[in-house]
Structure 1
Amino acid sequence: MLAFDESDRARSKSTKRIYKVYKQKHKGSGGYVNGQTIVLLLLVTSSITVPVGFFFYMPDPALKQWDKEDKRLKKSGIAKKDRPIKPERDSAYPTKTEIALGLLKEFKVAHSLIKFKGVLADALYGEKAFEQPMLLPQKL
């Protein structure tokens, strides 16, 4: 079986030079910290779990800024028609679902002889894209 998971790694409040670091909500303190999010693809067997792929996730800064401004304008009573429209997502910042699908496709191409029974992921990845026939487990 293959499984997806993501892991937030808090770094520090002042670091900005680490790859794909962005401001995250720190679950322990309730404050904010700079950190990284890693999306993992794991091969799970009855005896061992092995990471077989990973990718660093980072939210689109333009969308994040737009969302922050939109919430501020909405709170101040500005009508939706008078607020700026949502910008297009930059392909340099894929969503976690897009990352997961890419990792799955890469694994399938690189390890075509490995047959897996299913793909396990939490509700975050519960999108229609995971139901495509190409990605469904192969019948045994």
Structure 2
Amino acid sequence: MGKPTSAIQLWIGRWPEIAQQAPPWHEGLSTRTMHCLSEAGITSREALVEAWENGRIQRGQPTGIGVSRLVELRHWLANTGTAFAPAPTKTMIIELSLDAEAALNHLKKASGQNASQLISQLLVEADEINRSD
């Protein structure tokens, strides 16, 4: 291991103490996200939940929190047992070819969903497929 035997013996002797330590509250969040949160004074899970619920976490706030970090935080909170209101949506203008518009209209009729719901669902599903490759 490249370490003196005495150091390894000391580490092995402390193993029961080390094993009893709880993981950090932010385990599972990226280092960059943790840096953004700590810069904003968010240093516990409870403070993060409170900031999320009070709307202090949104696009660009705190500094460094963009869309991908919001998604990361939302997934992390959901996976660690926090129920919360969904993040607000963002209006975007898109251009569709005639074929794409016809397909969207067909999907709207077939599913009963509106165009925004369908496009959002398709984008998220496509991203999940790409991430699994």
Identify which of structures 1 and 2 has the higher relative contact order when contacts are C-alpha pairs closer than 8 Å and 6+ apart.
1
Shared topology, TM-score over 0.5?
A: no
Greater strand share, 1 or 2? 1
Between Structure 1 and Structure 2, whose CA radius of gyration is higher? 2
Q: TM-score, normalised by structure 1?
A: 0.27
Bigger proportion of residues as helix: 2
